[in-house]
Each structure stands twice: as C-alpha cells, then as structure tokens.
Amino acid sequence: MIDLVFLLHSWVRWLIVLVAVLAVAKFAYGWMNKATLDKMDRGLMSGFSGLIDLQALLGILLILGMGWNQAYRIEHAITMIVAAVLAHVPMRWRKDTSATALRNNLFVVVGVVIVMIVGIGVLPGLRWMFRF
C-alpha cells in the first residue's frame, strides 16, 4: 500500500509542475497586458493549490507509513507544509480582479515552486527523475 502512495506522490509532482508552468505563463501574460483576473485564472490558482494539498496529504500518509526516523523526512515535510500554506495566500485577494491580482498570483506560484525546490533538495538521491 505504501508503494502505491509513493507512486502517486511521485506522479502528482509532475502534474504540479505542469500546472505551475501554465499558471506562470498565464499570469505573466495577463499581468504584462494589464488584463483582469477571470474565472480561468481563479480556477488555475485553485487547481494549483488543490494539487499542492493532494501532494501534502500523500506526503503525510507516507510519513505515517514510513516513519519520522530520518531528519531529511522531517525537513522535507516542514518545507512542503510551508509551500502548501503559501499556495493558499491568494485567497486573501480572491475578490480583486485587477492586474495586481495576476501579479500577486504569479509571485505566489513562483515562490511556492522555489520553496518546493528547496524542500526536494533535502531529500537524498535524484528526486527529479521520473519514476514508474
């Protein structure tokens, strides 16, 4: 069972990367063109934070199944929880439809990705490899 959770945890990260790339492109384009935040932008941000939440849940299940017996697991978990909290910051300006909201969403997605890279960096081995 833990192997299935680990496999899902491994695959969801690539969905997060895909949505993050789409979000960065969409938010940057909208911000540069002084567009307003629309339903698609809100959905993209909700999808991003939802995938981060799913990843955090899978990570918690892994920690419960594999244990806290290694420091890198604790460091990884804490860093990723910070990323999950950061991913929900755009809820503070959900009613704002200006180009500023697009800029803020862009910065949040980039910030979350940077925190995730730091969190993945504490893990041993080549964690950026795609696992089957």
pLDDT confidence bin for 56, thresholds 50/70/90? very high
pLDDT confidence bin for 36, thresholds 50/70/90? confident
pLDDT of 94 reads 73
pLDDT of 132 reads 43
pLDDT of 80 reads 94
pLDDT confidence bin for 129, thresholds 50/70/90? low
pLDDT of 25 reads 96
pLDDT in tens, 59-114: 999 999 988 888 888 999 999 999 999 999 988 877 777 778 889 999 999 999 99
pLDDT of 62 reads 92
Phi, psi of 6 (to 5 degrees): -65, -40
pLDDT of 125 reads 75
Distance CA 12, CA 77 (A): 16
For 33-131, where are the alpha helices, taking DSSP H only? 39-66, 71-87, 99-121
Q: What tokens were used for 86?
A: 């950061």
